[in-house]
Amino acid sequence: MMGFKVVSHFDVCPNGCFLYPKDDANILFCTNENCQLPRYRKHEQALALRQAGVNLNDESFPSFVAVQQMVVVSVGAALAQMMLDEDKRELFKYRAEQDCTHEDGVYRDIFDGKVYQDFLFNQQQLFQDDSDIGIVLFVDGFQPKVQTGSTLTIIHCLVMNIQ
């Protein structure tokens, strides 16, 4: 079964001011002139190789570990990966097969709520196709107690089609 790359790692400046291009390992410093922190933990070794004319993109050289990385999770790729699995794809049919008869004061699930009903019938007329997927994103940024100089962000994604 074919798969999708759901999780990607990107090198970033420890100060958060530069996202390094994925395909260029030769950039050794943050390009922000007020920062210019080194990209790699073994900076001296990487610098010596570059000064010797070595292309760090060449796969014959070991890759260097970045001082800091950012992890990106693709919601689209994760959903596509789930849709490739027949058993999981069956779970997505719940919303489309849901009884759309709305009864005031009766809430069996989120699809009985006013917001969904408005989306379905009144406002943008969303979810017209049985294969439409409803997702909710919750975003929360915070500063960890251990690393007070950095911030973290949690993104929680709920697939509303699945009961």
Q: Is residue 31 part of a domain?
A: no
The answer to whether residue 115 scores a pLDDT higher than 70 is: yes
CA-to-CA dists, residue 26 to 11, 15, 73, 136, angstroms: 12, 19, 25, 39
Per-residue pLDDT, 37: 97
The mean per-residue pLDDT over the stretch 77-92 comes to 89
Q: Among the ranges 45-54, 61-70, 77-86, 104-113, which has the highest mean pLDDT value?
A: 45-54
| 146 in a structural domain | yes
CA–CA gap between residue 85 and residue 42 (Å, rounded): 42
**Predicted local confidence at residue 114, as pLDDT:** 78
Asked whether residue 121 is assigned to any structural domain, the reply reads yes
Q: Which residues contact 117 (CB under 8 A, 6 or more apart)?
A: 102
Question: Does residue 1 carry a pLDDT above 70?
Answer: no
Please give the biggest Cα pair distance in the chain: 74
Residue 58 lies in a domain: no
**Dihedral sign of CA atoms 6, 8, 14, 15 in order:** negative
pLDDT for the residue numbered 99: 63
Residue 4 counted as domain residue: no
Rounded CA-CA distance 95/117 in Å is 12
Is residue 100 pLDDT above 70, yes or no?
no
Asked whether residue 133 is domain-assigned, the answer is yes
Residue numbers of the domain that contains 151: 74-159
Domain count for the chain, please give it.
1
Residue 19 included in any domain: no
- The pLDDT of residue 2 is 61
Q: Would you say residue 8 lies in a domain?
A: no
Q: What pTM, to 2 d.p., does this model score?
A: 0.67
